A and B are shown apart, each in its own frame.
Chain A
Amino acid sequence: MLVLTRRAGESVMIGDDVVVTVLETRGDVVRIGIKAPRSVQVHREEVYRELQAVNREAASPDDAAVRAVTELLRPALIEPPGD
């Protein structure tokens, strides 16, 4: 990890297109502004990590799971007796 020290109002450039600016610091909270092209997604790390995890869990469900979802879509049917 590259470590830099900045004061409020100072910035860091990442590549040609991303600028991270320290807007203000107040106690242990830092407000950060980020300028990036719209193809670069910027999110709080914990939010993004959770989203990656949920997407991976959701990816390619097995047949039993797909059947379970299909059941959700079906209004409850009464099975005919003696089948």
Chain B
Amino acid sequence: MTTRTASRPIGAIMTDAALDMPTIDMAVPMPGFPAHREFVLVRLNEDGLLYAFTSVDDPGLRFLVAPPEPFFPDYAPEIEGDVFAALNTKDPDRLLVMVVITAGVNETTANLMAPIIVDRDSRRAMQVVLSGSDMPVRAVMRQAY
């Protein structure tokens, strides 16, 4: 089994060689978590199917996030120009889309209504609310395709 468990020491998480990128600054904090401005993306699965979006201010706070494509292949959120402005985006193709997972023993769901968009170059991110869409905040996740 190569997937890391939740109980690694904080120091190991922060200097983990598997980190894709250093600190990510929130252009807008996540709704419900206004004090958390910096995060790191910790890879939990060797195939890159699961990450822990972990607060630098309080590593006890983390969100499980995943790229949507393996689970929701038709999901294509429209990211508008104001997001590019907030993230200082030069190349929209360099944006990473991650969906926040609500994990449960009985059911695991993904928030398709508000994906986290990360600009790999500027290292800024925000949770974009696709209001006006009918996307569910709790879309049931099944096996990866």
The contact string, 1 if C-beta is below 8 Å from chain B, for chain A 47-83, is 1101111111111111111101110110110000000
Q: Which residues of A contact B62 (CB under 8 A)?
A: 59-60
Of the listed residues A38, A52, A69, the one surrounded by the most CB atoms of chain B closer than 10 A to its CB is A69
Q: Which residues of B contact A66 (CB under 8 A)?
A: 5-6, 44, 64, 103
State the Cβ distance, B49 to closest chain A Cβ, in Å. Answer: 5
A54 and B47 contacting across the interface, CB-CB below 8 Å = no
Q: Which residues of B contact A56 (CB under 8 A)?
A: 32
B interface residue numbers (CB < 8 A to A): 3, 5-7, 27-28, 30-33, 44-45, 47, 49-50, 60-64, 82, 85-86, 100-105, 108, 111, 113-114, 127, 129, 131, 137-138, 141-144
State the Cβ distance, B42 to closest chain A Cβ, in Å. Answer: 12
